[in-house]
Structure 1
Amino acid sequence: MNAETAPASFDAFRTIDLRGTHLSAAELRSAMPRSTSASFDSVAARVEGIIADVRTRGFDSLTELAQRFDGVQQRHPRVPAEALREALRTLDPSVRSALEESIDRARAFAAAQKPEDVSLDIRPGAVLTHRWVPVGRVGLYVPGGLAVLASSVVMNVVPAQAAGVESIALASPPHKDFGGLPHPVILAAAELLGVNEVYGIGGAQAIAAFAYGVAGDGNRNPIEPVDVVTGPGNIYVATAKRLVKGVVGIDAEAGTTEIAVLADRTAQPRLVAADLISQAEHDPNAASVLITPSVELAAAVRAELSVQVASTRHRERVETALTGPQSGTILVDDIDHGVTVCDAYAAEHLEIHTADAAAVAARIRNAGAVFVGEYSPVSLGDYCAGSNHVLPTAGTAAFASGLSIYTFLRAMQIIDYNADALQEVSRHVVQLAQAEDLPGHGDAVQVRFP
């Protein structure tokens, strides 16, 4: 075996030893492995400039950005209907079958999530209703850089359709190898799902176009603004979503992927290593973290990484991710300590490889998705589990949720009182209005009972 093909040494898969420590919540969060190569703050100014340029110059800006970032010439980024049909017609039948299975399972899970409206007669003649209403229009982003995430078409579109969204637009980066259109498998997935408004726009400019819309200019049809933007992406996409939040709703800041594996001595090192590699191949900045009380398991996983990485297709990318500051092993005192560390890390994907994995999983509070036991790898969730793989990253799983039908629904409250019901409570309204020095509030009730 020569030096070029020899397995990499994964001594650089660093170790953070938290055994015997008593850290505060803030100290524990600070101790977690995170990427230092790019942050929201470091790219915010550049992303703000892209957003401002798209808002100001519209299609001219999108054309220039497509040339600069993707090397393609565009006049209008909309994908022709014939290109969508042709992509599905020429799709590999085995890939189509896999997409159809993924769609079927995702639809079943999305349908099960749909909440019921609730009405309550809080008093005679006083009816309150909690009604779920879909947003009118959504913009869905599908990455198409290092990995062609046709599965993300499914993950974005299916819950939007299940929620009842009437207008769905999808954007994915254009490719010069495909005539300036997004990857044909992405187009085929959109056609399979019945999405016909598809744009070849990548990065922060896609988020800007969806959030603010792009005015037509006589020869080019407009891109109408949306109510909600969803979908995963790199740090530029995630930053753009943060910057337009408030103008539109967003799902979460689903940035560069990450996996954490909580494992004890019962775990199989080859499975843990394979799962760490599966997410590291997404991106050089992807995070792969092992959390364990077992020094022996940690050593065995490092040995497996050396063997398995040597034969993986995207070896260079995987090595960069696994040896970066965002990846490594965290040694803990025991599984209880490990659960605490998992909640501090708040992983996008968390696998549980322990004895009684289901019981341990039930104790986790902060994670985008939890994968229980050795037969529930993250790659299953990426494609065909039926769950959604658009999940919060970079610790935001402590307060944000993954993409679901709820992302596309709004809860509307409806108040329906008759005269007797209002009169019954009128004196309380007046008293509270006077206490807050808002007498007009009370007058608005009293005027109804002269």
Structure 2
Amino acid sequence: TTPFLQSLAQRGTWFANAFSNSPRTVESIPDLMLSMTTERHGVYHNLTPAPLELVTLAESMRAAGFATASFVTNVYAGPRAHMDQGFDTFVDKIGFWWTTDRSIADRTVPIEEASAWIAAHKDRPMFMYIHTAEPHAPYTPPEGFANRFDPGYTGRFDGNYRPLNFHSARDPRDIQHIAALYDEEIAYADSRLARFWQALSTLGVDKRANVVVTSDHGEEFVQHGYWEHGLNLHNEQTRVPLVFFGPLFGAVGRIDTPAQIMDIMPTLLELFDVPPPHDLGGDSLLPLLRGETGEPVAGLSSRPIFSSNYNFLPRQNFVEYQVTRDGWKLVYSKNPWRLGGPPTRFKLFDLKADARERNNLLMQYPDKARALAETLIVWRAAQRPYARSAASDVAVQDAAQIRDLEAMGYVGGMDEPQPTDDDEEDSSP
């Protein structure tokens, strides 16, 4: 599905076990741009922006002399969430996110606008952020990509929420087709990325470009009873690509050491010798990217990786945390929103033997679960929230923005995802 991205990974460095720190865009973009956990930056809710006082990655790069630009097609990567801070140029494609008419808008890389900006600034150090809404539900791949992976499907579902919401699909054949639509969107986004790289070549900057490709979350297709993302912390919702390519990153190839999107900001700041603006939640990956050995690499290999999920939508009121370390993963859920569930539940997985997280080993390995739980408790206690000013909570909420949120299924409007009969049974220690 991604021949161009795979070519970058093969010629550069890619982390095979990279994770977002949340399965929801509203939380994970501040995680990325601030290298802060949700608990610290405080963006728990779809209508809560990040504190204005916090210094973003873009602000740090601009202060270091970089020209900065952002091209986004997701509401949480823009002014709605204060994620436009630090960008000299901010191109907002959010208003066209929801349309499926690609003669009007494209939800992937805005090649023409981004290329024009690079041409105007290529004599300066540049920092550019591009956030694409493709791939994302509703799954509507364009002509040339639609029906590429599942042309023989004759069922009822087309990847849209209406008139027939694909969340209601239960037959494995329908689920297979909906996943194929998602893959077709991935393939389309990859083709646009390839065209953008060709534009960089035409401008003569491709040989000095240093590129990081990642995602703010994964996507589930009923592996654990749910659709899309934001409803649990299983790997299909949190595992993401993470590729580094360019002359400053080296070409190490595949790295199996776990990484997280909070590591991107400290990596770039160290690479360009930019001082961190606050205590960062992630770690620099430069020792791994440079092929180093010794204590720094050992520390990265043995550290725990944490993720959290705060979902306060109607009928989805729950909090969830996970910690992964040395191939083991513990998930703790507080107030599971499924009606009839217990107030808490724990799940323990051996990822080396059970990569799909199908076997809860909580009862078989109580000591392992207890050790990970203690690690999680210490981490959670250390996540002190950043003091927010009254101005930080002021954000424009006009009709167009609410429409965009509804179109993405983030507030109201859409039928809320519901668990299927395949959801796992609750377990308590």
So what's the TM-score if we normalise by structure 1? 0.23
Q: TM-score, normalised by structure 2?
A: 0.23
Structure with larger Rg:
1
